[in-house]
Amino acid sequence: SSELTQDPAVSVALGQTVRITCQGDNLRSYYASWYQQEPGQAPVLVIYGENRRPSGIPDRFSGSSSGTTTSLTITGAQAEDEADYYCSSRDSSGNHLVFGGGTKLTVL
């Protein structure tokens, strides 16, 4: 299976823009999805596909990709965005799923 690599921790000042990245060779072939997880809660899907947001997800969340890197961008980060963020995608076989190790986002 393939691996997805994320920075363990990222911080952003309140109201500023932050980009959380996810790297993996399989991302050349498959889109990633992004999940937000607050402490003690189940993950919530925030971005999937090319740059799609589920209903109810604020439009300050967006996604992009280039080569082997996919990114989640939060434009105008809010205090409530402080959480762990995980990327996920299909592995190189296309039959299995893999998750990145997660990024802890701190909003200062």
- 3-state percent helix, strand, coil for the chain, nearest multiple of 5: 5, 45, 45
Q: Does 95 bind another protein (CB under 8 A)?
A: yes
Name which position in 21, 22, 30, 82 contacts another protein (CB under 8 A).
30
CB of 54 to another protein, least distance (A): 6
Q: Does 39 bind another protein (CB under 8 A)?
A: no
Q: What are phi and psi of 76, to 5 degrees?
A: 80, 60
Type and span of the H or E element at 11: strand 9-12
CB of 99 to another protein, least distance (A): 4
Q: What are phi and psi of 26, to 5 degrees?
A: -65, -15
Cβ atoms within 10 Å, residue 21: 18
Q: Does 48 bind another protein (CB under 8 A)?
A: yes
Q: Which is nearer to another protein, 16 or 106 (CB)?
A: 106
Name which position in 53, 70, 89, 105 contacts another protein (CB under 8 A).
89
Distance CA 2, CA 6 (A): 13
Query: What residue ranges bind another protein (CB under 8 A)?
Result: 1, 30-31, 33, 35, 37, 41-45, 48-49, 52, 54, 86, 88-90, 95-102
